[in-house]
Structure 1
Amino acid sequence: MLDDRAKLLLKTLVERYIADGQPVGSRTLSKAPGLDLSPATIRNVMADLEELGLIASPHTSAGRVPTARGYRLFVDSMLTVRSLAGAGADEAGGAPHVEPLLPDQPRRVIANAAHLLSSLSQFVGVVTVPRKPGVFRHMEFLRLGERRVLLILVSADGDVQNRVLFTAQDYSQTQLLEATNYLNANCAGLGIEEIRERLKGEVDALRAEIAVLMQAAVQAGSEAVSEEADQVVISGERNLLQVQDFGADLGSLRKMFDLFEQKAQVLRLLDGSSRADGVRIYIGGESGVVPIEELSVVSSPYEVNGRLVGTLGVIGPTRMPYDRMIQIVDITARLVGNALSQK
């Protein structure tokens, strides 16, 4: 447990380091407003903070910088984020001014949101594509040629996907129409897994060739839903080239760009954040998913029509202005939810 004096000193040190990017010494802290302590007292308190692992001393400087543990304590108990509500929030609290996202195509909203997060934060913006319940409003089969069938899938919200099925036998358009009518009469509005279970129970009542075709359609629909769920849009990776903390460390930059290129780790990280209540912050490697000590993530789930469907966030250096990042992420999550809910 830190006493009030140590907390105030740590808070001041973190804020100064975030603002300037330079190790903070006792002389600098002694001049800070509201920190009425002598340089000798400050040195003693800093020694205690260093022993606790909250700050560290770079080899090239007599000043101190926060550790990941120090940032965590700062974010959890010392950070004040002003309310975004009310008139004059932009001027009084430094809240970013954000233009509303238009309820255009969902993918365009997601792409715009990732760009918005990146441009406002000057770091990397990430947004997952909304997870869909896998309910299809309409399915249709069309003959393309011998042993080739086009499956048209129309989701509950009107998105259309096409899949080409390569079949073991040739189907006439009459047979395909029969399968289309059966699926839409008996399975419209059901989820893929519900359709799969229903077909299992009715396979004996269907002619063998039609049953095989429908099972292929269900598998294609399941793959379509899976592909939709495994997408994340990333914007602003090159912003990290301008970050002072990374500029000279090519090894760290290489690891970061590998992370964004593969996307799988980012998806796992955001999937964990989707279960959070509001904004969540990962500092350094504490997420266990992004193993890069120099990176922090500020993320939030977003809702569409009252249902959690995705996650968005900002990825940047541990030395980021967390109060502003929280505001940016929180506002953008609301804008994305509003835009997609209007569709």
Structure 2
Amino acid sequence: MDTDAKIYVAGSRGLVGSAMVRTLQAQGYHNLVLPTSQALDLRNQAAVEAWFAKEQPEYVFLAAAKVGGIQANNTYRAEFLYDNLMIEANIIHSAYRHGVKKLLFLGSSCIYPKLCPQPMKEDYLLTGFLEPTNEPYAIAKIAGLKLCENYSRQYGVNFISAMPTNLYGINDNFNLANSHVLPALMRKFHEAKIQNQPTVTVWGTGTPLREFLYVDDLADALVFLMNTYNEIAFVNVGTGQEVSIKELALTIQAVVGYEGDLVFDATKPDGTPRKLLDVSRLEAAGWQAKTDLKTGIERTYAWFTDHYDTLRR
């Protein structure tokens, strides 16, 4: 991409989209188009088509999606399927119709089977049943990467897909009802510290293993892929490293400076025992994550404390 190329970041106010904007601007890209969801309803096909006809972006980062944690995924099942299908289909089709040079679709590691062999290779897609609680979201993301794959095959366009692991960072969702484990724990520890609570309870045994990628590293990987990767096959994006939920909780506790006790509630579900991406395809292409977990948590907590009064609750 030339630094003056017209780049559309769909979902520019979300966790990933805002990191994309930061990273693109830091790398000298200055011609960004960033309509808000209020200005452009991506579920509306006619509105998306009209916007592409008017703006004519050259490159598209498709980071817009309806997202949430396990409770939100399981509660709003129809919305997670419908909204995500409409968003991706409208943008991908309009990008094709209006001659976008390259599009990058952002998926999710939840596309893999519930009982997927570890670490999860790209070839394991559609080899087993999905996790039931987030099946609608996963199906929508699978449909998006298959749209990119088949538009590329049929029309010769350069539409690629990336599947990231668990993300965290600046501008995350810290709502305890529908956020993911890392931001939820950060908020729990912070509020326990300021309220002098003696204990913090963590769901499950603490033994499940998870992989976490700092969102600005993801954004750097996506710019790298946009500039260098032209394969139809989608690519995993992660660190290739895993940590137990107990280790994660202890790291967050140390960064926050909470001095009380940690209690694991084994009556609550652990979820999948292990969830790790195989990132050998990405590393072979020439990219590796740069931010270690503790550093990423420190940066996120600094932002969290600065914005605590205005967070989504």
Larger radius of gyration, structure 1 or 2? 1
Q: After TM superposition, is the score higher than 0.5?
A: no
Q: TM-score scaled to structure 2, two decimals?
A: 0.24
Q: TM-score, with normalisation over the residues of structure 1? A: 0.22
